[in-house]
Amino acid sequence: MRALNRKLFRDLFALKGQAAAIAAVIASGVMTLIISVSTLDALSLTQQRFYQDYHFADVFADLKRAPDSLTERLREIPGVNQVETRVQAPVRMEVPGFADPVRGLLLSIPDGRQPVLNQLHLREGRLPDSGRSDQVAISDAFAEAHALRAGDGLRVIINGRMTTLRVSGVVLSPEFIYQIAPTDLLPDYERYGILWMNRRALAHAYGMDGAFNNVVVSLQAGATSAAVIDHLDRLLARYGGIGAYGREDQPSHRFLHEELRQLRAQAVILPTIFLLVSAFLLNVVMGRIIRSQREQVAVLKAFGYRNRDIAAHYGMLTGLIVLAGCALGVGLGVWAGTHLAAIYTEYFRFPELRFRLQAWVLVLAVAVAAGAAMLGTLRSVWSSVSLPPAEAMRPEPPARFRRSLLERVVPDRWLDQGTRIVLRNLGRHPAKAGLSVLGIAMSVGLLVMGAYQIGAVNHMLDTQYRLVLRMDVHLTFSDPTPARVAAELRHQPGVLGVETYRSVPVRLLAGHREYRTAIQGLDERPRLRQLLDAGRQPQSLPPEGLLLTGYLARDLGLEVGDSVQVEVLEGHRRTVRLPLVGVVDEPLGVSAYMRRDALNRMMREGPVVSGAWLLVDRSLEPALFERLWDLPGVAGIGMIADAERNIREYMGDTILMFALVFVLLAGSIAFAVVYNNARIAFAERARELATLQVLGYSRAEVSAILVGEIMALTVVALPVGWAIGTGFAWALNQAFSMDMFRIPLVLTPGAYGFATAAVLAASAVAAVLVVRRLHRLDKVSVLKAVE
């Protein structure tokens, strides 16, 4: 069948524009799947390996101080495998050449060697030498942010005393894959670092000789963390333990877990939508291309080619296009996936990222794309071969035209012949026109969804930083501090407003569900940290009772009026019941709120606070910071503007990056669909249009008919596409609600406008390309060729 193969390649070449467009649709679908799944896979695989190879602990506990002799008793807890006791100290640092205050956490490691749990991965240099008290290993993110290398000096204030330490090495830890300060939402590597030094030296400097204030344990196979946590809590209570917790509450793990969850949602929903849309389009477009070859099918059949030969022939045509599309999609997907995964390693510090392409992803992508395209192909081949060849070889049965509905409504003289032809062409094949409309509408929908993601993320951040967090500076104290500190802060240079808060770590229990968080005790009407109600208006706090982030309340299955069991993890460690008196609408983070005086009463303490929010005069900031650092008891100073910049960067690098890739893919799909529609319309009308030109219609008039048809389809598709896009956005929104943030379902007119403009532009380009083709059309040969 050599001649048939030659026909295959000639056809493919003749269809090159359309074939390329179809390949682009396939590539987009395949690429989406590969990016999403392999980024997710790379992160979770890397995480698993890191945890395993470096012995990430299962349970963690902080306490005030316990003697080393307790270690043996910890080891005897049933279910515990290994125990690592540590000294940890919050520190302040001065980094040469960096003006802003830097906070840090200094952790102990056994003298000169790796701990049993949470081992360190050395990126550079070595661990502190045995017996040395002036060496630290530092986290690689922190080292990178300040270009610190092994051998560099660092001034660290431990327990109020400044010492100069030398960097012995740069390390990574499974405990700080996501390295974040306790009160922050996102990492700030410049202003927060983790350091490790020899146990004896740190214990000495921090007044912890022969004692520890932090313990991590691993579990025996089959043991549950809940039992061990209970046991630990009981043992550590008299040593000032503030509640042991499992991996799910370990900040780094929790965040990574959330991120993976979000990626998983994205990895399911986006490729599903993309692949379904591409499958639909492939089916329709390939079907129509094959149908335009109906007469050739009949000729082949008349000469004795069997149905399966013909199916194989067109199957091969489609197969080559699918193959090209898949190859392109896999190539681009792996390339983009590696890059996106690399972006994530900016935020998640792993020793190395393990990227792999799993066979099932490939198989699935190719199967969906090939399946859809083949279905469209074979459907059309089938409908062509099932006609007797004599009938199929005749030109399509003369169509029965009718006056279209519009023509019947609109007075005759308003419509010229061209418009009439457009209307009747569309009316003649309502099913075909309907599929074209649906195809374009789907691509409009994809664009709306992409634009929605970008718009909604910005809307979410605007809400958080314009309406919720209205302070400039966030101060945390190392210990509860008398509330009168507010007056003192108010007199600092440049301070325009002060509000204080009390924060108490708690475990919330409702039914069988529990959640570890902190209760924020606020003023009756907090102005620097607003609590929004469902209508996004600031609400004030009732004298008693608890408010929860709406998302958390729903997650715990609570409604206003229910009572919540609150297990206090600090001080007296009592369990109390509080009524839920309201919910707070906030897009980032989850928390619990109550009046500060009520919280103080619950804690059986005087009016004390854990931190303060300041409104400041930016021009006086440097002077202010100098004074603040010298205040006793200040553990941390956070600048909201920095945090906002960080989170915007993070979103920009991750979610928005994804969204952008998808918008580009959606755009290419939109173009592919519109262009293919236009080309097919052109092929179907070539003869008619040539006839009109021969009859004396000008090029412009004839072009107007073709363009009119393309544009008419697009215009009808737009509102349908808006509706589809709204549906897609809703599906995405459902998948995207989690602890760290909830992207709201806000569809701005901008999202619709963007999608509309993009599709209109694609239509315009397609129209120009087709009109150019029309102008090059050899009228005589078209008329000569007998159909």
Ligand X SMILES: Nc1ncnc2c1ncn2[C@@H]1O[C@H](COP(=O)(O)OP(=O)(O)OP(=O)(O)O)[C@@H](O)[C@H]1O
Stretch that binds other proteins, among 2-10, 463-471, 495-503, 582-590 (CB under 8 A): 2-10
C-alpha R_g of the chain: 33
Question: For residue 306, what are the CA distances in angstroms to 157, 299, 389, 475, 719?
Answer: 86, 11, 12, 81, 45
| CB 294, min distance to other proteins, A | 12
Q: Is residue 238 close enough to count as binding other proteins by CB under 8 A?
A: no
Coil vs helix vs strand at 270:
helix
Nearer to other proteins, 16 or 554 (CB): 16
In whole angstroms, what is the distance from residue 43 CA to residue 56 CA? 16
Stretch that binds other proteins, among 6-14, 246-254, 369-377, 742-750 (CB under 8 A): 6-14
Name which of other proteins, ligand X, none residue 407 binds, using a CB cut-off of 5 to 8 Å depending on partner kind: none
Q: Is residue 394 close enough to count as binding ligand X by CB under 6 A?
A: yes
In whole angstroms, what is the distance from residue 591 CA to residue 597 CA? 18
Q: Is residue 300 close enough to count as binding other proteins by CB under 8 A?
A: yes
Nearer to ligand X, 630 or 787 (CB): 787
| CB 319, min distance to ligand X, A | 33
| CB 334, min distance to other proteins, A | 35
Question: Which of 265, 343, 89, 317 has the alpha carbon at shortest distance from 731?
Answer: 265
Chosen residue from 226, 237, 299, 641 binding other proteins by CB under 8 A? 299
Residue with token string 């009718």:
402
Nearer to ligand X, 294 or 679 (CB): 294
For residues 721-760, which are near other proteins according to CB under 8 A?
none
For residues 14-43, which are near other proteins according to CB under 8 A?
14
In whole angstroms, what is the distance from residue 535 CA to residue 596 CA? 24
| CB 297, min distance to ligand X, A | 16
| CB 291, min distance to ligand X, A | 18
| CB 262, min distance to ligand X, A | 60
Name which of ligand X, other proteins, none residue 781 binds, using a CB cut-off of 5 to 8 Å depending on partner kind: other proteins
| CB 390, min distance to ligand X, A | 7
Q: Which residue is nearest to ligand X (CB)?
A: 391
Name which of other proteins, ligand X, none residue 306 binds, using a CB cut-off of 5 to 8 Å depending on partner kind: other proteins
What are 476's strand-pairing partners?
Answer: 611, 636
Chosen residue from 391, 412, 479, 630 binding other proteins by CB under 8 A? 391
| CB 434, min distance to other proteins, A | 23
The DSSP 8-state label assigned to residue 532 in this structure reads B
Nearer to other proteins, 69 or 781 (CB): 781
Stretch that binds other proteins, among 4-12, 138-146, 320-328, 431-439 (CB under 8 A): 4-12
In whole angstroms, what is the distance from residue 242 CA to residue 275 CA? 49
Nearer to other proteins, 268 or 387 (CB): 387
- Asked if 742 contacts 551 with a C-beta cutoff of 8 angstroms, the reply is yes
For residues 328-387, which are near other proteins according to CB under 8 A?
385-386
What are 566's strand-pairing partners?
Answer: 508, 576
Q: How many residues bind other proteins (CB under 8 A)?
A: 35
Please state at what angle helix 16-53 crosses helix 251-291, rounded to 10 degrees: 160
| CB 781, min distance to other proteins, A | 5
- Asked if 645 contacts 510 with a C-beta cutoff of 8 angstroms, the reply is no
Nearer to other proteins, 619 or 781 (CB): 781
Q: Is residue 393 close enough to count as binding other proteins by CB under 8 A?
A: yes
Across the beta sheet with 80-86, the strand order is 80-86, 211-219, 59-67, 245-246
Per-residue burial over 29-46, b = 16 or more CB atoms within 10 Å of its CB, e = otherwise = bbbbbbbbbbbbbbbbbb
Q: What is the dihedral of CA 130, 134, 139, 145, to 10 degrees?
A: -150
| CB 769, min distance to other proteins, A | 21
Nearer to other proteins, 420 or 428 (CB): 428
Q: Is residue 292 close enough to count as binding other proteins by CB under 8 A?
A: no
Name which of other proteins, ligand X, none residue 2 binds, using a CB cut-off of 5 to 8 Å depending on partner kind: other proteins
Q: Is residue 776 close enough to count as binding other proteins by CB under 8 A?
A: no
Name which of ligand X, other proteins, none residue 299 binds, using a CB cut-off of 5 to 8 Å depending on partner kind: other proteins
Q: Is residue 302 close enough to count as binding ligand X by CB under 6 A?
A: no
Nearer to ligand X, 203 or 385 (CB): 385
Q: Mapped to the 3 state alphabet, what secondary structure does 463-526 carry?
A: HHHHHHECCCEEEEEEEEEECCHHHHHHCCCCEEEEEEEEEEEEEEEECCEEEEEEEEEECCCC
Q: For CA atoms 186, 192, 195, 201, give the dihedral sign.
A: negative
The DSSP 8-state label assigned to residue 119 in this structure reads P
Q: How many residues bind ligand X (CB under 6 A)?
A: 2
For residues 398-457, which are near other proteins according to CB under 8 A?
400
Chosen residue from 69, 360, 391, 572 binding ligand X by CB under 6 A? 391
The DSSP 8-state label assigned to residue 547 in this structure reads E
Angle of CA points 106, 165, 94, to nearest 5°: 75
| CB 299, min distance to other proteins, A | 5
In whole angstroms, what is the distance from residue 722 CA to residue 711 CA? 17
Residues 6+ apart with CB under 8 A from 656: 453, 454, 457
Q: Is residue 390 close enough to count as binding other proteins by CB under 8 A?
A: yes
- 563-568, long-range: CB < 8 A, 24+ apart: 564/508, 564/509, 564/510, 565/508, 565/509, 565/510, 566/506, 566/507, 566/508, 566/509, 566/519, 566/592, 567/243, 567/506, 567/507, 567/508, 567/509, 568/504, 568/505, 568/506, 568/602, 568/603
| CB 391, min distance to ligand X, A | 5
Binding site for ligand X (CB under 6 A): 391, 394
Binding site for other proteins (CB under 8 A): 1-4, 6-7, 10-11, 14, 295-296, 298-307, 309, 385-386, 388-391, 393, 400, 781, 784-787
